[in-house]
Amino acid sequence: MSMANIFNSRGWSGYFAAIFFVSLPALAVQLMHLSDAATALAELPFQDVVTSLTFPNKQPLRERYTGIEPLDLGLRFLVAAFLPAAAGWDPGYEIQQIYFIVSCLAIIAIWAVEAGRKGNARAVTSFTSI
């Protein structure tokens, strides 16, 4: 197969996907670099947010989610990681979260294909709900 055939077989959707995956992290780096909120969060690690129960912008972090302390501690870390993007505090975090979610879609798609194979009938990969 020649190099020309490889480029012709990709099509516009392949080029769009490649540009999309390259542009999102580049945009996120630029927006996070210029953001005061990103700088404040970078200086204050997640451990400090979780122990002080306060974000750098003085928003409180909820302490109890389920009432089970080990599970609540893990949920506090997840909230500290994803709340700045979900709340719209900073566009850089939003772009980074979109990139993270889109990147996870490839893993989910591969898992779904593997779940349908007869060789994986009773394997853990056959349970896509996990």
| pLDDT class of 1 with cuts at 50, 70, 90 | very low
Share of the chain above pLDDT 90, in %: 3
Residues forming a β-bridge with 54: 60
- Average of per-residue pLDDT across 114-118: 78
As given in the structure block, the two tokens for residue 101 are: 């979610």
Tell if the pTM clears 0.75, that is, is over it.
no
Distance of CA 45 to the CA centre of its chain: 18
* Cα 79 from Cα 51, distance rounded (Å): 13
pLDDT tens column, 32-44: 655 555 555 555 4
| pLDDT class of 68 with cuts at 50, 70, 90 | very high
